[in-house]
Amino acid sequence: MKAITLMHSGGPDVLRVASVDVPQPIYKQILIKIAYAGVNRPDVLQRLGLYSPPKGASNILGLEASGKVVSVGPGCSKWEVGDEVTALLPGGGYAEYAVTHEDHALPIPSSLNLKKSAGLCETLYTVWYNVFKSGELRSGETFLVHGGTSGIGTTAIQLASAMGSKVFTTAGSDKKCDFCVSIGAHHAINYKTSDFVTEIKNLTGGNGVNLILDMVGGDYISKNIKILNNDGRLVQIAFLEGARREINFSAIMIKRLKITGSTLRPQSDLAKTQIAEDLEHTVWPLLNSGKIKPVIDRIFNLEDAARAHEALDNDHIGKILLKI
């Protein structure tokens, strides 16, 4: 089969099309003929040599895809050959075929197709776990997500709004801010022209927010602490601006703050299965009804994976996909 392989760690130019063996499903795995695959920030980190695949996972990039089940391994009972699915992958999405645990695949929402559902899983698994499970966001609470026009951001805005929260976000242009408001954000702050700490305090009457989802890190860490209200929670899922900063823990103690974080890929099969069950029960009805929708920026052919990575590093709104 055709797949994108890494010659070595480096820039987008290290991505090359190669011929590799089709993976074979083992116990509880399904083999998917991929139609479209999502391109995500962890793929970039793996390309740079900063994010190694878990033991036993494919070295091929790609953590989510949509397609058709073409083979099932021993012990499988959930899917049959011919079923169309969208799936979280342990790796291997930048290829014509990939395997995954049968419980980590979900049916194509009735309002979507293979193309529009390809970028759902990595993003929704991440948002659901970090915002609603670990972050414990509840209806009526205030929520700030940084990077509102990223795949994570557009998903978090829509889902938190649909679940009854008041959503704030940051983005890098007025155009992006307008888009965030159009999909459910109560207010979007252009971080290039405004200080989001001051803006959030003004918008909340000085109270701050209940929960922050951050993928920036760096100087944002201390700023986030300033705008969390009493008993507020900060969930960190990435560090685009660095993971090391000096912070004053007295504010954490005085306001009884909780700071946590996670990465999705190393979690156990059982943990991912639980997330998938939650998504199918709670989020899939919202997708089926069209109340929330994936936002797709651009689609590249598999052979143009390097261009897709370049696009991810530049201005975009929503998900970037590969057509296999």
pLDDT per residue over 53-73, tens digit each? 888 899 999 999 999 999 999
The yes-or-no verdict on residue 52 having pLDDT over 90 is no
Tens of pLDDT, residue by residue over 88-113, are: 999 999 999 999 999 999 999 999 99
pTM: 0.96
**Domain region containing 299:** 2-120+267-323
Q: Do 229 and 166 share a structural domain? A: yes
pLDDT, residue 315, reads: 85
Q: Are residues 208 and 319 in the same domain?
A: no
**pLDDT tens, 207-255?**
999 999 999 999 999 999 999 999 999 999 999 888 898 888 999 999 9
What mean pLDDT do residues 151-174 have? 98
- Considering only CA atoms, which of 188, 110, 118 is closest in space to residue 153? 188
Pair (14, 109) in one structural domain: yes
Q: What SS3 class is residue 252? A: helix
| Domain stops at, among 218, 236, 261 | 261
Q: Please say which residue of 261, 290, 311 terminates a domain.
A: 261
Its sign, for the CA torsion 266, 154, 131, 128, is negative
The structural domain count of the chain equals 2
- Of 90, 153, 87, 157, give the one whose Cα is nearest residue 118: 87
Which of 212, 237, 261 marks a domain boundary? Answer: 261
Assess whether 112 and 189 both reside in one domain.
no
- 240 and 149 within one domain: yes
**CATH number where 137 lies:** 3.40.50.720
Q: Is 175 in the same domain as 294? A: no
Q: Point out which residues pair with 235 in neighbouring strands.
A: 213, 260
